Amino acid sequence: MQNYQELIVWQKAHALVLRLYDMASRMPKEEVFGLTNQIKRSVVSIPANIAEGCGKYSNKGFANFLQVSLGSTNETEYYLLLIKDLKYIKQEEYINLWENINQIKAMLISLIEKVRSK
């Protein structure tokens, strides 16, 4: 067990949640119960599963929650692509967010490998 707030990957994922909530507040109102809701749920799942995994007593349990977090990262990445293709955000904002998501993905993969090798 460890303090999830000390993990850099959790800190980056939490910062991404805050950025995407801000972005979602600027999306068209007709998307409130559709795409806006979906991206909020998927992005919140990333740091939430990291936090839940940190509460597990076994490395296997921790790794499983990190794997779920990685899946949510991929889901969020798709929603972001869709938001860009629907022209709800500009290309520059998309690229910046995409880079953030992929940094988190790489960190999660590395952490999963590290936890599983213990």
Sign for the pseudo-dihedral over CA of 31, 34, 37, 40: negative
Q: How many CB atoms lie within 10 A of CB 110?
A: 11
CATH number for the domain including 109? 1.20.1440.60
Ramachandran quadrant class, 87 (left: phi over 0; alpha: psi -120 to 50; beta: rest): left
pLDDT-derived band of residue 1, with 50, 70 and 90 as boundaries?
A: low
What confidence tens digit (pLDDT) does each residue in 66-106 have? 999 999 999 999 999 999 999 999 999 999 999 999 999 99
Domain carrying residue 96: 4-117
Q: Quick one: pLDDT at residue 114?
A: 96
Q: Quick one: pLDDT at residue 33?
A: 85
What confidence tens digit (pLDDT) does each residue in 15-34 have? 999 999 999 999 999 988 89
Domains: count for the chain: 1
pTM: 0.95
